[in-house]
Amino acid sequence: MNRPLARVLSPAVLAVAVCLILVGCGSESGDVVPSSESPAGTTAAVSNDTAGVTVSGELGSKPTVSIGSQTKDVTTLVAVDLVEGTGATVAADATITAHYVGVGAISGQEFDSSWSRGEPTQFPLSGVIEGWSQGIPGMKIGGRRLLVIPGSMAYGSNPPQGSGIASDEALVFVVDVVSSP
């Protein structure tokens, strides 16, 4: 039974259109809505699904991060632009200046935040955990990105002592790239 291609595609196109309309008419609560663009220049498997994480707050201010029940089970790197920047694209070998907050996916507790220290942090992407070195390249300066990092791309079985991070715990970061000197 051969149906014309247009008839087969019509329900799929309609379903996609409805989903886009529903996303566009989303929350008025100030939640940040992720863009549909995937990061360029990453080599790891990257998902645009937010893995149950919700983020609220304005770009440039410390965000509020809520962890979903499925977040702890993430097995691939999730990198979603919550706000796409307008500056240059961050290269894999870049040094960046960024504000960030880190939250454990099991505990739901914040373990680190540059906002809490009162200033952004500068570091080379070659000197950070794999989830950052794979998840930040392709981001544009001035943007905000959500990273949900499986434990294997974070600290694995050797988290920093006293950090509150469990062995093999998935980590969630919200990163605002301020500059790349």
Candidates 167, 34, 175; CA nearest to 107 is: 167
3-state secondary structure of 24: helix
Q: Please give the CATH architecture assigned to the domain spanning 29-179.
A: Roll (3.10)
Distances in Å between the Cα of 22 and the Cα atoms of 17, 19, 34, 57, 69 are 9, 5, 13, 21, 23
- The residue ranges of every structural domain in the chain are 29-179
Return the structure tokens found at 139: 């981001």
CA 143 – CA 40 distance, rounded (Å): 14
pTM exceeding 0.85: no
pLDDT tens for the chain, residues 1 to 181:
444 433 333 333 333 333 333 333 333 333 333 333 334 433 344 445 688 999 999 999 999 999 998 999 999 999 999 999 999 999 999 999 999 999 999 999 999 999 999 999 999 999 999 999 999 999 999 999 999 999 999 999 999 999 999 999 999 999 999 999 8
Rounded Cα distance between 69 and 82, Å, is 20
